[in-house]
Structure 1
Amino acid sequence: MKKRILVIILFFCLYNFSFSQGKFIIQNNKQSDKIKFKLINNIIVIPVEINGVTLSFLLDTGVSKPIIFNFLNVSDTLKIKNTETISLRGLGEGESVDALKSKRNIIKIGDAINLNQDLYAVYDVNLNFAPRLGFPVHGIIGYDLFKDFVVEINYSNKFLRLTQPKKYTYKKCKKCERLNLEFYNSKPYINAEVWTNKRIIPVKLLIDSGGSDALWLFEDDSLGIKSSDKYFYDFLGHGLSGSVYGKRSKVENFALKNFVLDNVNVSYPDSTFISYARKHKNRNGSLSGNILKRFNVIFDYQRAIITLKKNNLFNDEFNYNKSGIELAHDGMRILRELNKSNIKQNSTTQSSNNNIILDNQYQISLKPAYAIVELRKDSPAEQAGLKIGDILISINGKQTYQLRLNQIIQMFYDDDGKKIRMRVDRGGDALIFNFKLKKLF
């Protein structure tokens, strides 16, 4: 009798294992889990465990399969096997990038687990988003997580809630808007309206939670989608196939049903950088993090709907970088710092053999370095004499190694006329530059 019970239990376990292949399931009785995230430059970063290794991933509705970036020793660290080489294509004017497609990986996000997940390992040394974010980011995940759950993104309190669709109950919400989703190549699209050049234009937009901007529009004279006369040319971002450049401007209003946002930032990428994105002929652009963060959002891919509720960020002004500087983490700098623990001792140590004097009032340490990687033409920073490759030492009297990258960048979004004083290292020389932030529209 005991043997028979054991066989039945074993068969039940094997049946559930085979049924769960290729899908995320939640391993708790509630069939729901809450996961905290970091919001960095309007982009969500979540902890993801792959084959037992905990990493940081961007949560990006604009991608289908998970991608691992090059700076890990992927094959050894993650024990990735069963691979084949393929090519991936994305935004940017560069060529496709080679990647290893790996099968049968175990991915765990909170209590959600998938025992048979495909992923792509990209070895291109230039594809690394961590320096631009100032935070370790090892990959991107999107559709494979969203397709299996109702995903609530609470931007105001910085948490996700994943729930099995059959267990999810919608609450009455008079202040919410519910919109239909459309899918193309496993990516979600939404219909919206843009007020620009004194016209109201309906647009179909990719929902791109992995983008930090507010709105991208693809210029199309036949539809009336074009930049106003007030714009500046700028670096817009870095895609899978390289950097993207284009115009930055404003639109008068942007509407998602009855939710209307005023004076919204918009970018118009050059057509040469978005040829791949325009393969979906009905697509007019992208809706990204600087708009999404103003809502608490419920994605329900299985029912093809999205629910939006305004949060406390809704009325925040749409600001932009007025300096012309793009920064990135650029390795470490060796610094000689005062050792506060030994400052009162005022003692020295001498080596009798080599006669080396070490002053223990000071200590040598490694600190993060931030470099200028993009510089907008005719911007206040360029006109002041700053150059690409300059390493920031201090800004407005603060040592940059004491600041996070996003804290420094936020200074460039300050008010028109704000004074910026920067000390930089240029080829070993310490130089000082002063300029004022300039509002362009």
Structure 2
Amino acid sequence: MFSFSGLKKDQVSVSTEILAGISSFLATAYIIVVNPSILSQTGMPFSAVLTATVLVSFFSSLMMGLYANNPILVAPGMGLNAFFTFTAVLTDKLPWQVALGTVFWSGIFFLLLSVFNIRSYIVKAIPKPLRFAIAAGIGLFITMIGFANAGFIVASPATMVSLGKLSAPTLTFIAGLAITVILLIRNVKGSILTGIVITSLLAWPIGRWWGGSVPVITIQNIIASPDFSLLFELDLVNSLKWSLAPIILAFVFTDMFDSLSTFVGLAEAANLLDENGEPRNIRKSLIVDAFSTTIAGLTGSSPGTAYIESAVGIEQGGKTGLTAITGAFLFLPFLFLSPLLSAVPTIATAPALVLVGVFMMKPVVRINWNQLSEAFPAFLAMVLIPFTYSITQGIIWGFLSWTVLQIATGKFREISLALIIIDIFAILALIF
């Protein structure tokens, strides 16, 4: 249960925590629209994915508040949903039921690693430059998806990709992107969500007043009952095949790095540290994160993860689990708004995808680009993720090139047993 223990009375108040929870929710709420818009490309119903997104966000954030007592919201993660859709399903041709099964098993694996604290050995085995590069690579991947969804970039037989033609939708996307960037620069609360709403309004005239005869947005209803059709639709048996181990491990490692970096970053920025100077309740927080991934597979979503946007609420004074609990309950009303939210066009969510890519590029500055034995594997991992349209391939070649270069330069001590095991999995993934 959340508490104010260990904090001075003048540091926190119930009203401050609630306002902080509202602020964090506004900064995070875009995922309610963006996650279904990405996952529905696998053939999963938009309304059902929206229901799953709300359920994962509610239960995970609630548990973060009650169990871990941290002011951090948890919801389906950007990057993880792109990996689920564009790598696991569309590239590797997995049925979405099997892909949901890999999400569930990755959550169980992550949970075991967190409960028994094995994660610390794995994390230490992953070179920091590769962690930074993978985050940036996923950001570039998400940005490319955003541009493609808006028609701003298109396939080209001559140059592989090319700039799309300027049209009513692409011009609306450009306007929405500009507006969202300006809102962010001016520190407007809920900037990304506001940008999605404004871009949707700008898209309403398309097909009605200009830009063709087919409307981009059509609304039949505003409120409907939640769609639970994806509940327990995962394939637990076929998702346990050895050939799918790389997919499961990719979910685990990506989720783990994302969560750890979020917890550490927020803790340092907001002084949410324990008596040893470590992030407060980090073990409990990681258990909640793993729990979120597990229930995501059960309800019909990509993995859940801690949201860096929680910094908005923390900056507003949120310091306890009450902030997360407040944000959790704000997700619930959207269970009944799937018809309205499903009308949000892809050109309205595309600016959010592009900007998430911008945010995820931040770790690149922490790579030592003057040390080629570190820079080359990091660069390889970062660029292969968008170039191969596969997060897995970026991770595989990043790890393998790192190991080869450390051996070639005589840095044998940089290679741990855990890293060797990871490399073995990477080679097996290439073979099978």
The alignment's TM-score, normalised by the length of structure 1, stands at 0.23
Structure with more of its chain in strand, by fraction: 1
Structure with more of its chain in helix, by fraction: 2
The alignment's TM-score, normalised by the length of structure 2, stands at 0.23
Largest Rg, 1 or 2: 1
